[in-house]
Amino acid sequence: MRILIVEDEPDLLRSLAQALREEGYAVDTAQNGEDGLFSAESYDYDAIVLDVMLPRLDGWELLKRLRKTKKTPVLMLTARDQSRDRVKGLDTGADDYVVKPFDLPELFARLRALIRRSANRTTNVIEINDVKIDTAARNIFRAEKPVELTAREYSLVEFLALHRGEVVTRTQLYEHLFDENDSTLSNLLDVHVSNVRKKLGAGFITTRRGHGYCIE
Ligand code: CA
């Protein structure tokens, strides 16, 4: 899952990006509204964390412009819990919001819920044969036994599972699993796929030659 954070406070931006990367997300960042809008329009992010008070273009205006072309789920960071702000956000097309200062676990939970809703899922758990993926706890069981996956392997499985039955191209996977700062060799994706097959069964991920990967 690839997230864009638009936030002008450097310390908050840095700590938020680091915390999300530790959770296994690919993270891009922007420090003002114009750069944020440019990135948001350039990629299909899985979600955007958007501060309201931003230089150059504020969060509301960014959101208004973005909504002309994209439905990317947006979590607003508002400074105060004022009902005026809240109504404005929902009118403008925000999907959810948290009030600063916020707890990280709460922000993570909201983000997961947003991503789940945008994939039209109402439950935390995805079951594929004997494999059970808990997207809230971010862990995986096979035949009721926990399976140890790296953060990247987990993200790969979750993304494919949320698009179950669809062929996901390598390009899509690169866009959603890795961020601008990842300098990865092109075969790294194959390594992750191969590791997941060792852990969850050879047939768990199907390769469609020339097209991409799929969980049937
Ligand atoms: Ca700000």
- The model's pLDDT over 143-162, given as tens digits with 9 standing for 90+, comes to 999 999 988 899 999 999 99
Same domain, 10 and 111: yes
DSSP string spanning 66-129? Answer: HTTT----EEEEESS--HHHHHHHHHHT--EEEESS--HHHHHHHHHHHHHHHTT--SSEEEET
pTM of the model: 0.80
Reference 155, options 37, 46, 13, 42; nearest CA is: 46
CA of 58 to the centre of ligand 1 (A): 9
Q: Mean pLDDT score of the chain, rounded to an integer?
A: 89
Question: What is the per-residue pLDDT for 89?
Answer: 65
Same domain, 134 and 192: yes
Which domain covers residue 154, as residue numbers?
Answer: 125-214
CA of 95 to the centre of ligand 1 (A): 19
CA of 178 to the centre of ligand 1 (A): 26
Same domain, 88 and 173: no
Boundary (domain end) residue, out of 118, 146, 167:
118
183 phi and psi, to 5 degrees?
-105, 90
CA of 118 to the centre of ligand 1 (A): 26
Q: How far apart are CA 123 and CA 107, in angstroms?
A: 18
Same domain, 35 and 133: no
Same domain, 145 and 99: no
How many angstroms separate the Cα of 171 from the Cα of each of 4, 38, 64, 174, 197? Answer: 18, 20, 28, 5, 20
Same domain, 130 and 80: no
Same domain, 199 and 154: yes
Same domain, 44 and 29: yes
Question: What is the per-residue pLDDT for 85?
Answer: 65
Most confident among 43-47, 88-92, 185-189 (mean pLDDT): 43-47
CA of 190 to the centre of ligand 1 (A): 39
Give burial (CB, 10 Å; 0-12/13-18/19+) of 124: middle
pLDDT at 11 over 60: yes
Boundary (domain end) residue, out of 94, 118, 142:
118
CA of 146 to the centre of ligand 1 (A): 41
CA of 22 to the centre of ligand 1 (A): 23
- CATH code, domain carrying 156: 1.10.10.10
Which residues are found with C-beta within 5 Å of the ion, ligand 1?
8, 51, 53
Q: How far apart are CA 165 and CA 163, in angstroms?
A: 6
